[in-house]
Chain A
């Protein structure tokens, strides 16, 4: 037994390691093929079209056909590229993404059929397993940044620096959200963390951290709505523009494996890992939490998160780059930091000060409700001066579009940018005020004159 690790690997031999390692790679490759098909089908359903449905049942062989096609394509080496780095970058990318699953527990101890050989359904585990996961994820950035840089072309370079800034920013938020898991579990070993979720899955007590993790995992994997490194409209295909054949396939594969990686880590750290969901976990004194069943629950949870990825992609639009970075630095990181402080203080009260859990929950709920009440009762600064203006002279309030200095943004049905000295009327949605319908140009001939006077006063 390794100290600080719940799973027992003492029976494993070198052959077991090799078999498990090959199984992990095979699992990842097939999962990626299924994931690509799954994504295309689900997005197609969301956009009311059939999606790939020709090759094989339900089009299941479509991604296999794509992979074969990529393998048989010409391997183009761009003349401007830095040859060695250009060749290494996709390999680094896929290599790092394949390593994460080494510490992901698929299940508890399983017995190989027809033998009495028992082994954990996990390649390995050590006391700093999650740190290892983060290290692999960070090294994956090298593939992206070197691939973009070495292509010797403008679009990949821009895509790769964007991607680097994005991934490191969101990695911070991700790392901070994991701190609270370590506080509750008291360990960084994945099997111990799953062991610690016996009574309750961590996503419930750690809901803010879970939300931060889910957002940052989408940013970390460069997926829509955060896929700015490959924004097609701006950067062609981002850092993979100059790549073809299997080198392109490796980047593509790495992206999908990374999706599986972050989903599996989210499952392990927040969603109870291989544990059966609540009503099923009570069946037959927890029989569904033993043997081969847990692998089913684990895969179900991973694919639920994969569906969330696709769902978000089918629903949200791509963010602008500045909005995206500001969101990461000014919202996610402060929220994650504040949550760590709150959780640490609450845990201290629980463990050392001896405050019972009921009292703590009541106090937290009270503080939360008070905060919500305070926020909702806070006077809206944007609304109040408007009401003061609109009080006596109602014409100024009803026809703001024709006042000097403002511009009718939809004159003649086309969006019109404001000229210098003009400012846009406030959006009807800002501050959720009731929409005032202003007929464009529908005011009488006297009204503009009145408004000029109103404005001059």
Chain B
């Protein structure tokens, strides 16, 4: 066997069996005593507020973080192949990557100055 990804599939299978088996076991073994209050969402003992699912609203900052994350995650993904073949790419690769990093730094500084990273 030379395909190195086959063992990962084997591990995935074992992990999936464990993950499913645990939940199934507790569903079978554990007691079941019906109680309406127990099935309500946790809310410090008062009536639960309307459903968060679907109708919930969140601060827009989280959305902003997600957008910024995509930009920088792609940057990191571009950095990886360059880093691995750093010795071959030599000076040309270095200059190209420095230009790329400079181009990414401009929006980073812009967002910083516009307060994109200030949480309050």
Give residues in A with beta carbon < 8 Å to B. Answer: 2, 5, 9-10, 12-14, 17-18, 20-22, 24-25, 70-80, 82, 87, 90-91, 94-95, 98-99, 102, 123-126, 131-132, 149-155, 157, 161, 164-165, 168-169, 171-172, 175-176, 179-180, 182-183, 186-188, 236, 241-242, 245-247, 249-250, 321-322, 325-326, 329-330, 333-334, 337, 340-341, 344-345, 347-348, 351-352
Contact = CB atoms under 8 A, between A and B. Distances in A.
A21 B83 contact: no
Contacts of B41: 78, 80, 151-154, 242
Given A79-B39, A246-B26, A22 B90 contact: no
B22 A249 contact: yes
Interface of B: 1-2, 4-8, 10-16, 18-20, 22-23, 25-27, 29-33, 38-43, 48-49, 51-53, 56, 58, 61-62, 65-66, 68-69, 72-73, 76, 79-80, 83-87, 90-91, 94, 97-98, 101, 105, 108, 112, 117-120
Given A78-B40, A245-B30, A249-B26, 15 more contacts: A17-B1, A79-B39, A82-B53, A90-B19, A99-B11, A123-B8, A124-B7, A132-B8, A150-B53, A152-B51, A164-B66, A165-B61, A165-B62, A246-B23, A333-B72
A352 B8 contact: no
Contacts of A155: 42
A229 to B, nearest CB: 12
A18 B1 CA distance: 13
26 contacts: A14-B6, A21-B14, A25-B11, A25-B15, A75-B30, A78-B41, A91-B16, A95-B19, A98-B15, A99-B12, A102-B8, A123-B11, A124-B6, A152-B52, A155-B42, A161-B62, A164-B62, A165-B65, A186-B87, A187-B84, A322-B118, A337-B101, A344-B86, A344-B97, A348-B94, A351-B87
Given A79-B40, A125-B4, A347 B86 contact: yes
B42 A80 contact: no
B95 to A, nearest CB: 9
Nearest to A150: B53
Nearest to A330: B117
A25 B56 CA distance: 38
A80 B15 contact: no
Given A24-B11, A168-B65, A153 B48 contact: yes
A80 B76 contact: no
Contacts of A79: 39-40
B69 A351 contact: no
Contact of A179 (B76, B91, B119): B76
A421 to B, nearest CB: 22
B79 to A, nearest CB: 5
Nearest to A82: B53
Nearest to B79: A179
Contacts of A246: 22-23, 25-27
Contacts of A250: 19, 22-23
Nearest to B91: A352
Given A82-B53, A99-B8, A154-B52, A186 B29 contact: no
Closest 4 CB pairs of A and B: A322-B119, A246-B26, A153-B41, A182-B83
A21 B10 contact: yes
A233 B105 CA distance: 38
Contacts of B56: 154, 157
A127 to B, nearest CB: 8
B7 A20 contact: yes
Contacts of A321: 119
A168 B14 contact: no
A152 B22 contact: no
Nearest to A103: B8
A30 to B, nearest CB: 13
B115 to A, nearest CB: 11
A321 to B, nearest CB: 7
Nearest to B97: A344
Contact of A325 (B48, B65, B101): B65
Contacts of A337: 101, 105
Contacts of A325: 65, 117, 119
A435 B52 CA distance: 50
A71 B7 contact: no
Contact of B51 (A80, A95, A125, A347): A80
A16 to B, nearest CB: 8
A158 to B, nearest CB: 8
Contacts of B14: 18, 21-22, 25
Given A73-B30, A188-B80, A348 B90 contact: yes
Contact of B1 (A12, A153, A171, A351): A12
Nearest to A73: B30
A2 B4 contact: yes
Contacts of B31: 72-74
